[in-house]
Structure 1
């Protein structure tokens, strides 16, 4: 344990959380009010093309205020169900004088009026209506304040608030319904919608109650017409490609502020009402906000930093990144129809392909209990749906992007979390099923091409796969990911004492080499040779080589016809290039280094990847490449890269993210990097670079012990970022990595910094574990 006299002063982390980071230019974050992993997520929705998280700061119009959202996702907008919309009055004092359809009602918000803090969001519409919102676990609370005069200068009339049976992507299916109580204005109902990145559909339920001004009248509306005589609506989707507008409204006697409490459930409106009445019984906005603030402060409190000499923008970047790691996934326990009420259910995994790399490992260190619940939730998905997911949202199976990356999540947790509440035998059963049994729809679970995988040791391009069906692309990236998935399974097998499976899956984890073409070259678009030979290439069933340009789907691919995602015409690498995927052998870097010609050649190739901007740091496969210099005995270069990407590409601004936040994946990259310990996920390995602060304290939520990383000779201008020597609990420490016991046992790592690269961490004995032996050093 470190000297208690050195303990750093605590700061309030919430003062440095900016929810608007990534709210424009494709960051797609959820910027509104929620609890950690909360189901209720209240925010204003815009008509932006980047409204996947609801609100954007790109000057778009506000279309409503809804309570279900995801954060940082790509693809189609997610959720945004049952939007509320307020009017100060309706033209001619008639209900039909208010505009109901989504596109027609959209209105700008007042510049400078947006305020966001953990558990809170507010803005003012140009109509003069102000909206503030906070949230409990399954309930949102909105407060609408109306102007004393309307936009035409007349005195305030009868405000109207309506709820729209729609979602952000206009995916509502047939037979949504809503009822409004004539006396109380309570609205209940449901709608069936499509997931944003998956198959199937889901039904969400709501219960909205109103408090404030006396109710003048209420009713339902369809399209652009409303009626106070009708109180119940069941609506079809419509026939013209977009759902018919429809919903219910409440109109009030005067312009007093109106509170709207919206309870949510995926089971029934009755449960939604019960959630609302239990969680926010008295419509107390300040108390609800205060409880949310306290919940967030508790979650962020395990990490303290020294702020001496640090620009506040860096502190904001750090704590905002931590905050975003806890927005998704969402805890739906007790509110889904698939399991009994006491069984844990987490959802909104967008996707494990993204989050296994740093987000879930980050939470394992600072919020272990929640990760335990996530593991239990994933195992419940396995139990009730038959497979571990690679992606899962809105109770639906999401599309698999690569391998069966829940295997990596299970292995990472197994190695780091000693918890008997997790059924590890069930977890092992689930990952073995991924490796051995091909599902009919491997679009959305498990792995495809297992016959070829087992017979040939790779996934062929244009594979013959009649047992199951998915997008027949990504043969290279799937081969590499399956290889690592199998290594992760071998890690679990070792811990469970199954030596046969250890050997079996370690052997298949080496299949990546079967797609390495030692003679393949790579040329830039101008025809010049990159100077490197040897790249992964697709291979056919008959074991002959195919071809894909190693720069296809890279950051410098200028071909407008390149298709790099899940399309049937997609590339053999998913969302990235062969150049970048060339480094994805996380378990056997020693063999990869030898394959590339030794450590110096490895470093030259890694430098070229970064220096020529082949790599796209806005996508998750880039993360580990920033730190892979460690494996070649050059940890100083990892530190140099980390300081280049942060803050050059990760800044505390609205457009400060280089890509989609992907449910907090980008936030975890920032936070781990700035903390100075970056994981190789699926292994008990954290790669050491100097923190961006003089010292960082991390209190383990499991043991209560506090670990510390401390920089000696810390330079806030970040010229002296190279480790000269280090001690661990006062003893010399030369390894350039550390294991998870650092956190749980509360150790102190002291790093002595200088301006030049040193010999620290460069010897073979100092390098991180690798399946093969290091050679050529």
Structure 2
């Protein structure tokens, strides 16, 4: 539930130096890496965000309270899963760890007569234009004996914190507008506006000897201060533990991360590539955030996923990965989404720790249907599938779905593809539950994807598009790719369009620099080229070649992307990580697999490592290669232009696999996929295509 980070107010997470930027190279907000304190609840690698979180700032100070909000340079940073440390220019060494619902800060002070630890309840959002989050209401209490607590209502959500500092001889008090309230024990605010806000919070102060450490423990809850206190006690002072909690919480979190990061392992490859892979796996498991038994919107216990930002980011790659390596959490996410639909009337595209209609509906429609369909096909336990189907069907009629129901087409035209696909996914669940009439009707309506395409061009019709153009969206992996390719003129025409999109035999494209002008950007967009893995609409496009019998092209595009678009240093991602969606793409692509969300299907490609293994509950799915060529490493220690490797043949559990796909069940049951690689394209995958709704299925490799 909890994250913590050094806070500068910069875009996009609140950490760092850069301002909001959507085109060209980003502009700096600050010339140095700096922090005004440490905040909690961050978005991880999302895009055009404005005021996401960064609540409850904690600042260690040796200055007067007037200096609160000043930013000091950061140095000597250390970061690992569950732990962050840095030294402020004031000489305070800062360490932070988090548990499930707690954060523990440990500050090592220089000698000082009046050191302080200040909690700012009014902080929220980013330091960019329109980026600040202002509490609607708030209260704060000083309880004595090192305890204080408060609640701030941010964007309609009550966030409560109970804090505990163990430092005998220190005073504690409340403050308002950077002035101490000596003797006051409670502050209450109502109807706060941007123009009336004055910062407020709690403060501890006292003398420190050189090297003295001060530990402050914070428990959080969305259900009030009392539950925040219980959360703090459960994790920081369990039975039999008496004393500092930092190392206790850090070790518990470290063990959880070791467990999760050990669920996917690779062998071979360069050190740089293994580092990127491990980092990608970490990124893929940061979001969504689960706050079990913490929903402020309904009283019942159970999982509450408050940080789904957004389904558009994660449904293609991250959720299939979550379902494989953390199936219990995948089930919890589905239960939470179904409960949101029950309580609020629709499956959200995005669901933040915020109240209101900001659900990112412009991005896409009905995406939850894909993960529900996959989960049902895999037999994910402990879900009421009949109840899930009720909400899946109802959700198809909401928002853009109403027009789709009436006309079979909606604009933005990409929503036509979303809704047609969601009808198909829902039909599969309905048929499995023996509702044949419903399934037949849904499958008939799922053919509406045809209305989105222009047969003359083989591309989508002109329309408005969210963060892309019709080329970006035209190569979606639909449920009837055979008919979609035929509609566009057949295999050769489809491959020709894909080749044009990926720039085969085209001159290089020069990237825009700082502050690119309109004509420069328009000229770039007019190329209708793949921009790289910097956004969601086309991240599955390289695998569209599989459906036209050209997996060799998939191998070339994916190999180039893995080599040239990811690295170990700053700028090592080609775009924002989108809640782990991009990093999950890297994981699957490196394993030589790609999930087709909603169809319980994986496409097979050349792996980037000699061997990979995915642990699924008590089973293991292994991808092993022969003929694998390691990526050359230059004198600078970096990967250098590896030759593309092509699949020559594949066996699944010892049986020859002529098709370019396997079922999700093949992976989740565990098994062994052996991929023979070679330096030249082969005939593998040219004859048998992945399944399509209008084409007869290939005999399954799965045991009956």
Shorter-chain TM-score category?
0.7 to 0.9
Moved more, 478-487 or 740-749: 740-749
Tell me, in whole angstroms, the C-alpha distance in 2 between the residues paired with 1:283 and 1:495: 54
Q: 2:338 aligns with which of 379, 383, 386?
A: 379
Task: Check if 1:455 corresponds to 2:371.
Answer: no
The answer to whether the 8 A contact 2:476-2:538 is kept is no
What residue number does 1:390 align with? 349
What residue number does 2:177 align with? 223
Q: Cα offset for 1:512?
A: 2.2
Q: Cα offset for 1:657?
A: 1.7
Tell me, in whole angstroms, the C-alpha distance in 2 between the residues paired with 1:228 and 1:346: 40
Q: 2:311 aligns with which of 334, 352, 356?
A: 352
What residue number does 2:365 align with? 403
Q: 2:529 aligns with which of 604, 614, 634?
A: 614
Q: 1:492 aligns with which of 429, 432, 445?
A: 429
Q: Cα offset for 1:185?
A: 3.2
Q: Cα offset for 1:495?
A: 1.5
The answer to whether the 8 A contact 1:261-1:283 is kept is no
What residue number does 1:296 align with? 257
What residue number does 2:67 align with? 99
Deviations 1:692-745 (A, max 9, x none): 1101112221xx222211110110124251011121222221111111222233
Q: 2:231 aligns with which of 262, 275, 283?
A: 275
Q: Cα offset for 1:767?
A: 1.1
Name the SS for the 1:295 alignment partner. helix
Q: Cα offset for 1:388?
A: 1.9
Name the SS for the 1:707 alignment partner. strand
Residues 671 and 420 from structure 1, CA distance in 2 versus in 1: closer, same or farther, beyond 3 angstroms?
closer
Q: 1:65 aligns with which of 32, 38, 52?
A: 38
The answer to whether the 8 A contact 1:218-1:228 is kept is no
Tell me, in whole angstroms, the C-alpha distance in 1 between the residues paired with 2:449 and 2:426: 16
Name the SS for the 2:45 alignment partner. coil
Tell me, in whole angstroms, the C-alpha distance in 2 between the residues paired with 1:712 and 1:243: 64
Task: Check if 1:128 corresponds to 2:20.
Answer: no
What residue number does 1:80 align with? 54
Deviations 1:468-491 (A, max 9, x none): xxxxxx521111211111111112
Tell me, in whole angstroms, the C-alpha distance in 2 between the residues paired with 1:377 and 1:174: 26
Residues 174 and 705 from structure 1, CA distance in 2 versus in 1: closer, same or farther, beyond 3 angstroms?
closer
Tell me, in whole angstroms, the C-alpha distance in 1 between the residues paired with 2:346 and 2:692: 30
What residue number does 1:747 align with? 671
Moved more, 638-647 or 113-122: 638-647
Q: Cα offset for 1:237?
A: 6.4
The answer to whether the 8 A contact 1:63-1:106 is kept is yes
The answer to whether the 8 A contact 1:626-1:641 is kept is yes
Residues 174 and 426 from structure 1, CA distance in 2 versus in 1: closer, same or farther, beyond 3 angstroms?
same
Q: 2:494 aligns with which of 570, 585, 602?
A: 602
Tell me, in whole angstroms, the C-alpha distance in 2 between the residues paired with 1:236 and 1:721: 64
Question: Runs of 4 or more off by more than 6 Å in structure 1?
Answer: none
The answer to whether the 8 A contact 1:590-1:774 is kept is no
Name the SS for the 1:273 alignment partner. helix
Tell me, in whole angstroms, the C-alpha distance in 2 between the residues paired with 1:600 and 1:378: 41
In the superposition, the TM-score normalised over structure 1's length comes to 0.78
Tell me, in whole angstroms, the C-alpha distance in 2 between the residues paired with 1:287 and 1:762: 56
What residue number does 1:210 align with? 165
Q: Cα offset for 1:508?
A: 1.5
Name the SS for the 2:322 alignment partner. helix
What residue number does 2:453 align with? 516
Tell me, in whole angstroms, the C-alpha distance in 1 between the residues paired with 2:580 and 2:197: 31
The answer to whether the 8 A contact 2:455-2:489 is kept is no
Q: Cα offset for 1:517?
A: 2.9
Deviations 1:363-392 (A, max 9, x none): 111111111111111122222223222110
Q: Cα offset for 1:89?
A: 4.2
What residue number does 1:173 align with? 135
Name the SS for the 2:55 alignment partner. coil
Deviations 1:407-451 (A, max 9, x none): 1121121122x1341111111111100123x3xxxxxxxx3351x
What residue number does 1:551 align with? none
What residue number does 2:690 align with? 768
Tell me, in whole angstroms, the C-alpha distance in 2 between the residues paired with 1:732 and 1:604: 30
Q: 2:101 aligns with which of 138, 142, 147?
A: 138
Task: Check if 1:586 corresponds to 2:478.
Answer: yes
Residues 55 and 720 from structure 1, CA distance in 2 versus in 1: closer, same or farther, beyond 3 angstroms?
closer
The answer to whether the 8 A contact 2:10-2:17 is kept is yes
Residues 424 and 56 from structure 1, CA distance in 2 versus in 1: closer, same or farther, beyond 3 angstroms?
farther
Tell me, in whole angstroms, the C-alpha distance in 1 between the residues paired with 2:82 and 2:215: 17
What residue number does 1:333 align with? 292
The answer to whether the 8 A contact 1:235-1:246 is kept is no
* Structure 1, gaps ≥5 residues long: 1-38, 91-95, 149-155, 195-200, 439-446, 460-473, 520-532, 539-547, 549-571
Tell me, in whole angstroms, the C-alpha distance in 2 between the residues paired with 1:69 and 1:665: 16
Tell me, in whole angstroms, the C-alpha distance in 2 between the residues paired with 1:705 and 1:50: 38
Name the SS for the 1:378 alignment partner. helix
Tell me, in whole angstroms, the C-alpha distance in 1 between the residues paired with 2:291 and 2:542: 35
Q: Cα offset for 1:326?
A: 1.4
Tell me, in whole angstroms, the C-alpha distance in 2 between the residues paired with 1:306 and 1:123: 33
Tell me, in whole angstroms, the C-alpha distance in 1 between the residues paired with 2:592 and 2:677: 13
Residues 316 and 585 from structure 1, CA distance in 2 versus in 1: closer, same or farther, beyond 3 angstroms?
closer
Name the SS for the 2:100 alignment partner. coil
Tell me, in whole angstroms, the C-alpha distance in 1 between the residues paired with 2:295 and 2:450: 44
Residues 647 and 236 from structure 1, CA distance in 2 versus in 1: closer, same or farther, beyond 3 angstroms?
farther
Task: Check if 1:316 corresponds to 2:275.
Answer: yes
Q: 1:714 aligns with which of 614, 620, 628?
A: 628
Tell me, in whole angstroms, the C-alpha distance in 2 between the residues paired with 1:731 and 1:239: 67
The answer to whether the 8 A contact 2:401-2:419 is kept is no
Deviations 1:321-370 (A, max 9, x none): 11112111111111223344532222211111221111000111111111
What residue number does 1:366 align with? 325
The answer to whether the 8 A contact 2:495-2:548 is kept is yes
The answer to whether the 8 A contact 1:143-1:257 is kept is yes
Tell me, in whole angstroms, the C-alpha distance in 2 between the residues paired with 1:719 and 1:143: 49
Tell me, in whole angstroms, the C-alpha distance in 1 between the residues paired with 2:322 and 2:573: 20
Q: Cα offset for 1:135?
A: 1.2
Tell me, in whole angstroms, the C-alpha distance in 2 between the residues paired with 1:56 and 1:509: 46
Residues 774 and 593 from structure 1, CA distance in 2 versus in 1: closer, same or farther, beyond 3 angstroms?
farther
What residue number does 1:118 align with? 81
The answer to whether the 8 A contact 2:85-2:95 is kept is yes
Tell me, in whole angstroms, the C-alpha distance in 2 between the residues paired with 1:509 and 1:244: 54
Deviations 1:201-226 (A, max 9, x none): 211000111123530x2322222322
Tell me, in whole angstroms, the C-alpha distance in 1 between the residues paired with 2:273 and 2:528: 24
The answer to whether the 8 A contact 2:647-2:684 is kept is yes
Tell me, in whole angstroms, the C-alpha distance in 2 between the residues paired with 1:670 and 1:349: 20
- Pairwise mapping of residues 309-708 of structure 1 onto structure 2 (< 5 A)? 310-340=269-299, 342-394=301-353, 396=355, 398-400=359-361, 401-416=363-378, 418-436=379-397, 438=398, 447-448=399-400, 450=402, 452-459=403-410, 474-519=411-456, 533-538=457-462, 548=463, 572-611=464-503, 614-616=529-531, 617-701=533-617, 704-708=618-622
